[in-house]
Structure 1
Amino acid sequence: MPNVLSMDNMDNAVIMALLKRADEFEKGARSVQAGTAVNLFFEPSTRTKMSFEMAEHKLGMTVLPFETAASSILKGETLYDTVKTLEAIGVDAVVIRHEEEAYYEELVGCSVAVINGGDGSGQHPTQSLLDLLTIHQEFGRIEGIHVTIVGDIAHSRVAKSNASALEKLGAKVSFICPEEWSGDYQTSEKLDDFISDTDVVMMLRVQHERHAVSALFSKEDYHEKYGLTLERERKMKDSAIIMHPAPINRGVEIADSLVECERSRIFKQMANGVYVRMAVLEYAMKGRD
């Protein structure tokens, strides 16, 4: 069974097939997928964890509960041994979110399907896929679309996954962030230079748990310099849309009144997450391409 670990090694044909299948699911296609899944989330999650559970239930899969706080990992068991244990008792697929970047490299040798629900500051492939689906539904294509990603680029697995996939599919990608958060990417600090020329403004959450934003900015200063303010929204193209992976720091990366404005697709992204994860689970279980 194929794993879904990173957008870096996912072929364009597979990406587009997954988007097509997710779109079919949204339009009412049904699939009954035999198999048992376990969701191992070692970091907090609402959207990813719950949408995977919803996807698993919609596919008719058996979902075994797993509480990390009550697992043998607290006794020193490795992630590898935990996954091998689940494999031994008959689990078919595991969805894992872990604070360690590229944790999945430890799982080579496991025959259970592994789906990456986010690894540290590394990759978040299903978030990228649902973002791609949202863009494709809006514009009918990805090639040639200008996407501006704004926020903590260096620490964002969403930014890294989307940068990889969007560029492979022919989109233009611009990055806006403080210089300290640029990582290995070529970035600008001037959102105003890009706001009127972009088709998609993708705001990223300020990751307070990975560093202290207050060491660089107050929330008000960050919003004024890098946030999607009401003034900046008025400069956007009529056809341009707003995206955000959530959770949202309202009034920091985006003005509160813009979260559900006419051009916002933030909650549409969340809805698309269920259909994308249905497609990914089906692909992982059946080897669909």
Structure 2
Amino acid sequence: MRKAAPPEFHAKMPPSAEPRYFLGISLALAATVIFACQDAMTKTLVHSYPATFIVMVRYWVFFLAGVYMAKTASGGLIANIKSKRPIVQCLRGLLLLLELIAIALAFRVMGLAEATSIFQSYPLFGTVIAVFLLKEKVGWRRVSALVIGFVGILIMLRPGSGVLSVGAIWALVAALFFALYMALTRLVGGIDKPQTSFFYVGLVGLVVMNLGLPFFWVHMDSHYVWILVALCFTSVVGHFLMIKALSLAPLTVVQPFNYLQLVWSVIIGYIVFGDMPDILTLVGAALVVGSGLFVFFREQVKAAKIVVK
């Protein structure tokens, strides 16, 4: 088992490592801005066109990016698309596809910030899923954080007040699908290569959505075509930036900055759509984000203890 780095490694990092951390954080921040812009473009498109059509076109580009990644990686295309857990990989791909459709449907009827706030609850669902699916043990601190996080979700949903909407349910479903996707990703993380997992996501989405091509296909106005092209392009750029960021800085450094996507969503939602979340949504989002960060922190503490042992 790999030993943990000595304390002086963290206290006295080589000068060459600091710029890499700064660059990794910078790329992650750029990715969160791009992801928020993607959500705005998706919201614009699904107001006029079916969410299934938008997702289908995105998967054409996603699949090509997956093939390129597998082909250019060490070993070549054939070696990098072979999976030791193909069924799990296919299930991952299906879950991510369902998540993209669900969040697109949420954006159609909800404000950008509201839908993103609810979706940011996925780490909380992920922790619960990890207990049952991955058999992980959760202490009282993380349980307390989960309870607070779910209180935040209830504040945003406001069940019984007449505010609960179909869009909010879709955003919650999207968060659940994404949490399941992340749990299965952790299952295959130590078995298959990253480029293998990326390829399967694109392949499954491409196959499933193209089965419905005759039903999903619509003709678009030229103005919306360019928005869709920009959406596909930024999807590839955003994922590339995040992958690059994680190659320059560890997940423990990068992950907390991902929550800034909610801030960009509030700003972009107000500028583009005139949406401003109410005070209860902001309070609920703060509880969800805060509890999510704490859960992530406790997971890192637990992982560090396991490595030291």
How high is the TM-score relative to the length of structure 2? 0.27
| Structure (1 or 2) with the greater helix fraction | 2
More strand by share: 1
Higher gyration radius (CA): 2
Question: Which has the bigger relative contact order, CA under 8 A and spacing at least 6?
Answer: 2
